[in-house]
Structure 1
Amino acid sequence: MTATLETPVQPGGPKPMLDGERSAASYLGVKIFVVLPFLALIAAVPLAWGWGLSWLDIGLALGFYAISGLGVTVGFHRLFTHGSFRANTPLRVGLAVAGTLAVQGSPTDWVADHRRHHAFSDKEGDPHSPWLYGDSPLALAKGFWHAHMGWMFEREKTNLDRFAPDLMADKNIRAVDKLLVPITTLSFILPGILGGLITWSWWGALTALFWAGFVRVSFLHHITWSVNSICHMIGDRPFKSKDKAANFWPLAILSFGESWHNLHHADPTCARHGVLRGQVDISARVIWIFEKLGWATQVRWPTPRRLARITKGQDD
């Protein structure tokens, strides 16, 4: 396999896996920015029944969903975590900011957690495997909750020096890390400001804040978390990986191609996850556009030889 960014931080490295506990403020922040958007998502169904939702709200929600979601999939995941391509400085910073708008933590924290996930995938040490409690129905129910969102309510903190030393040394990414609170705040209030200005009304501001702010954030949360939970439990596994990562097609569009998860775990640095016929991968198409514009280089596209090494039934 091609060397990956996980290579220097594999199990047994010189630095500890965890770095103490999250601060009280950080732990409180996680609870607030997970629970409040989730409550808004629950309230969305009755509120949408005849009032409180306009085409402007839908448009703003879709726009912010695409920007923040692709910031996570193209930026946090394929660029920063796995080095699937190289990006010029403006694109790196732009993707770091866009990913932070998803309200899933800072770039460095997100990358460290995800690299730890790959280093220990579906084994002890994986921060969000659904298989840590066994395979009985009760154990899997507990594991699903843990993998989907329960793991975020734990106090343990991934060691950044071990799992994200490259980002710790990147002054631009560290600057974005330090702007976590204002960017997170902006992710909620900017849709409200735009809704208010476009409709020139407080009601337009309020509904845009609700739908394109809170509901959009929570919906994207659960799509991202479903890759951690559902895509490690059910689906197709046409490629050889050392864990239970699977392809789950119903999430492909909403996750921008991240739910082609079996290929990803079989070949983590590949820039395209949906490599088989009919597998739509929006994130890969965005990377392709960046490459054509000259903003992305050294893109690790799938090749027949690369795929042959990981296809079941093929010799290594």
Structure 2
Amino acid sequence: MTSHFEQEYQALFTAEPSAANGKQVLDDPYLHRLQRRHFYLFDVLPTIGTLVALASLAWRAPGVAELLACFTLWLVSGLGISAGYHRLFAHRSWQTGRAIQTLLAIAGSMAGQGGVISWVAMHRRHHERGDREGDMHSPNLHGNGVRNKLRGFVHAHFTWMIAHPYPNVLHYAPDLLRERHLVWVGRRYHLWVALGFVLPALACALLERSWSALVGGFLWGGMVRMFILAQGIWSLNSFCHLIGRRCFVTRDQSRNIGWLAPLIFGESWHHNHHAFPGSASFGLAWYRIDPGYWFIRSLGALGLARRIKVPSREQIGARVVTHAASWPAHAE
């Protein structure tokens, strides 16, 4: 029996379905060209930039300014994805005012993971079709055996972004399309990504007063930062659907990987999230590391966040499966 907690979340998928004209995904050559361009610019290029940064260690190590820029932009853009794109916009697990919404949408855009409305549409599609036909980045649709699992891993972690059916935002994100400030942010997506490179470069140049610091800030605060954050986000699609622990009955093959949680803002409590997608807390317990949730709670303590949704102990207990690690991954 579906609880009120889950019904409120599931309503997101049924909001104004007629607006989509019956099309849940769009499979168009023009869209695929845009996807390939995005893939090369914001997935391949940061990888190359990271290799350049590592090669440059032979003659110049990054200074304090470059490392601080890398960490700061990683934190800002990571929280923009975790607390903003994911928990606020995709799942509506908490509420805040337009100013905080706008700042989080801009911060998430700097991650180079796609515009906020497109990201939300794709993520909601992933939850709807998790590890079944139609899930764009499942690692579990390539067959059994080591070779096929490896193919699935590579697909889920990286190559699915080259070209894929595009979830119709009219169907999956009609609520966001009504928010003019989010549409405004989304239309300027490339500007925010560019700022994620320009700001650390300028900050390092001003602090260290050198051209080499300008380049170092661009590489470490921009390229390396985007690469590191991307590996964490992509691991949710790959590692967290292949290895780890399960403790609930879900239709997908999601997994929890606790040791990854500090590195990706608590997002690696991925199975918990699939079991309770409307929850702002992914750890579902005080002792589990969940920086994304802690950030939301901090905003709440400042009066900047409200209606922070977390399932009760009874709701969690009702879904816990005994001997969870051995529970079949395909359980309905």
User: TM-score scaled by structure 2?
Assistant: 0.89
Equivalence map 1:32-71=2 (5 Å) = 32-49=41-58, 51-71=60-80
CA apart distance, 1:177: 0.5
Q: Which moved more, 1:131-140 or 1:112-121?
A: 131-140
Which moved further from structure 2: 44-53 or 275-284?
Answer: 44-53
Partner of 1:168: 177
Question: How many Å apart are 1:310 and its aligned residue?
Answer: 2.0
Shift of residue 54, structure 1, vs aligned partner:
1.2
1:215 offset after TM fit, Å? 0.7
Q: Secondary structure at the match of 1:252?
A: helix
- Deviation of residue 6 (structure 1)? 4.4
Paired residue for 1:284? 293
Aligned partners of 2:265, 2:58: CA distance in 1, in Å?
A: 28
Look up the equivalent residue of 2:118 and give its one-letter code: D
- Aligned counterparts of 1:36 and 1:106: Cα–Cα separation in 2: 18
Distance 1:236 1:44 in 2: 36
In the TM superposition, 1:102-117 aligns within 5 A as: 102-117=111-126
| Alpha-carbon offset, residue 257 of structure 1 | 0.1
Shift of 1:156: 2.5
| Partner residue of 1:9 out of 3, 8, 13 | 13
Partner residue, 1:146: 155
Q: Is the 8 A contact 2:35 2:163 kept in 1?
A: no
Measure, in 2, the Cα distance between the counterparts of 1:157 and 1:132: 18
How many Å apart are 1:50 and its aligned residue? 6.0
Q: Is the 8 A contact 1:96 1:173 kept in 2?
A: yes
2:66, 2:220 within 8 Å by CA — same for their partners in 1? yes
Q: Which residue of 1 aligns with 2:234?
A: 225
SS in 1 for 2:37: helix
Q: SS where residue 27 of structure 2 aligns? A: strand
Identify which of 86, 90, 106 aligns with 1:77.
86
- Whether 1:120 and 2:124 are equivalent positions in the alignment is no
**CA distances 1:187-224 after superposition (whole Å, capped 9, x unpaired):** 11111011111111111111011001011001101110
Which one of the candidate residues 276, 279, 290 is aligned to 1:270? 279
Which residue identity lines up with residue 103 of structure 2 in the other structure? G
1:312 correspondence with 2:321: yes
Shift in Å, 1:308: 1.4
Give the drift of 1:40: 1.8
How many positions carry a matched residue from both structures? 312
User: How far apart, in 1, do the equivalents of 2:262 and 2:249 lie?
Assistant: 24
- What residue in structure 2 maps to residue 19 of structure 1? 26
Give me the CA root mean square deviation: 1.8
Residue 181 of structure 1: how far off its partner (Å): 1.2
Q: Sequence identity of aligned pairs in percent? A: 31
TM-score normalized with structure 1 length: 0.94
2:258 pairs, out of 249, 271, 280, with 249
Q: What amino acid is aligned across from residue 9 of structure 1 in structure 2? A: F
Q: Which consecutive unaligned segments of at least 5 residues does structure 1 have? A: none
**Partner of 1:94 in structure 2?**
103
Instruction: Tell me the CA shift for residue 8 of structure 1.
Output: 4.9
